[in-house]
């Protein structure tokens, strides 16, 4: 089980080998530098307004998926050291409102929404292909 956020044993399995080199302080230096360069290229080359909309769509989508995971973990019987306030109403309400926001975003800009989803699918495929054969991060449901 991952004990610290910067634990190389936790995140080393999730990164390609070249990016999974950690400093003595537990920082994946190559991954951070690569992400910085990519972000700078997006800002320099791209339209900042479109970039903000792109990021907002992605964060909204993953926010909904993260909160929806509460239902999945509860259904699997996972015990958490905290309880979600107002469960199941508050997380369900959050997910419903977030899905409504995503729907309105897709309705307003269908092509840009498709581009975001296509990029996420490409990233997922690359992740699956590069993580084959690597040990998965263990999930301990007893905590």
Q: Which tens digit of pLDDT belongs to each residue from 74-131?
A: 888 877 777 778 888 999 999 999 999 999 999 999 998 999 999 999 988 988 887 7
Separation CA 54–CA 46 (nearest Å): 11
The percent of residues in the chain predicted with pLDDT above 70, rounded, is: 81
User: How much is the pTM?
Assistant: 0.69
pLDDT at 143: 45
Check the CA dihedral 114-117-121-122 and report its sign. positive
pLDDT at 62: 94
Q: What is the DSSP letter of 82?
A: S
- By C-alpha distance, which of 2, 9, 6, 12 is closest to 26? 6
- By C-alpha distance, which of 12, 4, 33 is closest to 135? 12
The tokens for 116 are 């975001």
């Amino acid at each position: 089980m991952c004990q610290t956020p910067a634990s190389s044993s936790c995140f080393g399995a999730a990164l390609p080998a070249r990016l999974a080199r950690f400093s003595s302080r537990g920082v994946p230096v190559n991954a951070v530098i690569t992400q910085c360069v990519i972000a700078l290229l997006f800002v320099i080359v791209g339209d900042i307004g479109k970039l903000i909309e792109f990021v907002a769509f992605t964060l909204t989508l993953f926010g909904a998926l993260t909160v929806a995971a509460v239902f999945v973990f509860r259904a699997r019987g996972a015990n958490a050291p905290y309880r979600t306030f107002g469960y199941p109403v508050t997380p369900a309400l959050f997910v419903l409102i977030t899905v409504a926001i995503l729907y309105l975003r897709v309705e307003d800009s269908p092509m840009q929404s498709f581009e975001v989803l296509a990029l996420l699918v490409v990233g997922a495929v690359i992740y699956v292909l590069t993580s084959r054969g690597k040990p998965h991060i263990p999930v301990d449901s007893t905590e």
